């Protein structure tokens, strides 16, 4: 009698972590929306803005470092989803330009942030469609160039905002970023921009 063929390792133990990842993301988005819509962000001091962004990204990094299952679940996320998420930057960029036209944001912040986000966001679906999966050197180069450009852009936007707030005492920037719907940026949108950039870069490095 032939010995039974060993069963392939089951992915069942990882399924709860995948569900938990999706549920956690949904809960985070809902909580951020409730806080933003409530108007409570208008009463927080400006230094809370970078703390919200940095704290969210740091918490995610700690979770990845502390939990092997969580890290594995994150690394199995389709990078096309991570890239497509950046289409939201088109909306943010248009919002910045509209606020500039209304005189509610300085051009030194709004113009670069607005056009930069629009460019990265519009390029996202093109990169996802033409360069993913990144299974050739050319495709990997395209994805890497887009991700690095998008990461540099968001770092400049966040850094420039902090410079204008704390070095120049500009009150228009924090007034905008603590008002609905713009307060969703530090609460949810921008941290996830950093996280998805990290995910795309991690997948590229892992494949390499």
Nearest to 14 by CA among 97, 93, 73: 73
For residues 96 and 64, what is the distance between their CA atoms, to the nearest angstrom? Answer: 33
For residues 116 and 35, what is the distance between their CA atoms, to the nearest angstrom? Answer: 27
For residues 175 and 69, what is the distance between their CA atoms, to the nearest angstrom? Answer: 40
Tell me the per-residue pLDDT of 103-133, one tens digit each, with 9 for 90 and over: 999 999 999 999 999 999 999 999 999 999 8
Structure-model confidence comparison of residues 19 and 95, the more confident one:
95
Model pTM score: 0.88
Asked if residue 2 has pLDDT above 80, the reply is no
Asked if residue 7 has pLDDT above 50, the reply is no
pLDDT, position 170: 86
Chain position carrying tokens 């230094």: 47
- SS3 of 86-142: HHHHHHHHHHHHHHHHCCCCCHHHHHHHHHHHHHHHHHHHHHHHHHCCCCCHHHHHH
Domain boundary assignment for the chain: 46-207
Q: Look up residue 135 and give its two tokens.
A: 């299974």
Asked if residue 42 has pLDDT above 70, the reply is yes
For residues 164 and 171, what is the distance between their CA atoms, to the nearest angstrom? Answer: 9
Asked if residue 90 has pLDDT above 90, the reply is yes
Q: Band the pLDDT of 62: cuts 50, 70, 90.
A: very high
| DSSP one-letter string for 33-45 | HHHHHHTGGGGS-
């Amino acid at each position: 009698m032939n010995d039974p063929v060993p069963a392939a390792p089951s992915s069942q133990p990882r399924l709860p972590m995948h569900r938990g990842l999706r549920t956690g993301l949904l809960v985070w988005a809902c909580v951020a929306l409730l806080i933003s819509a409530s108007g409570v962000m208008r009463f927080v001091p400006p230094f809370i803005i970078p703390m919200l962004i940095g704290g969210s990204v740091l918490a995610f990094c700690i979770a990845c470092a502390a939990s092997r299952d969580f890290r594995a679940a994150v690394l199995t996320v389709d990078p096309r989803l991570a890239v497509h998420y950046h289409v939201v930057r088109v909306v943010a960029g248009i919002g910045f330009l509209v606020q500039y036209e209304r005189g509610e944001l300085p051009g030194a912040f709004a113009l670069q942030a607005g056009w930069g986000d629009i460019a990265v966001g519009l390029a996202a679906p093109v990169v996802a469609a033409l360069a993913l999966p990144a299974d050739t050197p050319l495709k990997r180069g395209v994805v890497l160039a887009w991700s690095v450009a998008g990461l540099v852009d968001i770092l400049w936007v966040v850094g420039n905002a902090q410079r204008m707030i704390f070095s120049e005492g500009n009150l228009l920037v924090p007034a905008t970023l603590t008002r609905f719907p713009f307060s969703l940026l530090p609460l949810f949108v921008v941290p996830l921009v950093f996280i998805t950039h990290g995910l795309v870069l991690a997948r590229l490095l892992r494949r390499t």
